[in-house]
Amino acid sequence: MKKYMLDMKVTENNRLHKNYCLLKLTCNDTLPEMLPGQFVQVLVDNSPTTFLRRPISINFVDKTTNELWLLIQLVGDGTRRMAEYRPGDIVNIMLPLGNSFTIPAKEDKNQKLLLIGGGVGTAPMLCLGATLKNAGFEPVFLLGARSKDDVLQLDEFNKIGTVHITTEDGSLGEKGYVTNHSILKNVHFDRIYTCGPKPMMVAVAKYAAAETITCEVSLENTMACGIGACLCCVEKTQKGHVCVCTEGPVFNIEKLTWLS
C-alpha cells in the first residue's frame, strides 16, 4: 500500500483514563485507505527527549467525519506530550504502515470470530471488529483489564458486536485472565485475533494451537522508524529474524516460534 506523510489536525482529545487518551485527527483530503492491524508513526514536537516518531495502532477510521482515531497510552515523554494536544493542533503522521489482519472470505460468513484485546491492545480490535461487521460477520470481543476502570471504549465495542470481559480484580465481567474466560470453554471459534501484552498473546496462541484454531497476533515490539531501517523491532520467526514494522505487526502464530 502507498504510504503518506500528512499534516493532520486534531479535532478531539478525550481523556478516557488517567493513563489513556483518545486522539481524533483529520486532514483536508479524504483519508487514505487504512486496514485493521496497521499502525501510524507520529512525529512528536516540543518533547526534548523524543527524537523518533512514536508508533500507534490504528484504533478506528470514521469515514463519515474523515477522522483517524488513535488510542494513546501515556508511558513516556512522547505519549504524555501527545496527551496535551488540543483541537486545532497540527500533527505530522506517516501512514499506513505494516500489514493487516486477515478478513475471511464472504463464503465463510458463518465462521465464529473472536477478537481478544488486553490493555492498550484493545485498540486495533475496534477497527478490526468494525471491518468484520461491515463485511457481514458477527465479531465477538473478549477484553481483558486490571479493573473495570481500565476497560476502554466499551460503548464503542458494544455497537459492533457481543462483548465479554475479564478483570483481574473481578470488578467487571469474569475474574481472571482472558484465557480463563468461560466463553472459551462454551464456544468453539474458527478464528482468533489478538493484541496485548506478550504473555497474554502467547497464552492465547497456545490455546488456539491446542484447539486447532487459526490465530493471528499483532505484536507490540518497540518500533522506532516504522520502515525496517533501525532493526529495533526484530522478532524471531520460523524462517529467521524479521522486522515487525514491515513484516508485521500481524503474524499467524504458525510463523512465530512461540509454540516450539
Strand, helix or coil for residue 39: strand
Q: What are phi and psi of 202, to 5 degrees?
A: -65, -40
Q: Residues near 155 by Cβ (< 8 Å), separated by ≥ 6?
A: none
C-alpha cell at 258: 512461540
CA dist 227 and 97 (Å) reads 8
Of residues 54, 1, 65, the one with CA closest to residue 27: 65
Annotation-wise, does 191 bind a ligand? no
Query: Which string of DSSP letters, residue by residue, matches 151-215?
Result: --SHHHHHHHSEEEEEETTSSSSEES-GGG-THHHH---SEEEEES-HHHHHHHHHHHHHTT-EE
Annotation-wise, does 54 bind a ligand? yes
Strand, helix or coil for residue 247: helix
Annotation-wise, does 57 bind a ligand? yes
Annotation-wise, does 215 bind a ligand? no
Annotation-wise, does 195 bind a ligand? no
Annotation-wise, does 225 bind a ligand? yes
Of residues 174, 208, 69, the one with CA closest to residue 130: 69
Annotation-wise, does 58 bind a ligand? no
CA dist 77 and 74 (Å) reads 8
CA dist 122 → 32, 129, 150 (Å): 23, 11, 11
Q: Which residues are annotated as a binding site for [2Fe-2S] cluster?
A: 225, 230, 233, 245
Q: Which residues are annotated as a binding site?
A: 54-57, 71-73, 78-79, 225, 230, 233, 245
Binding residues for FAD: 54-57, 71-73, 78-79
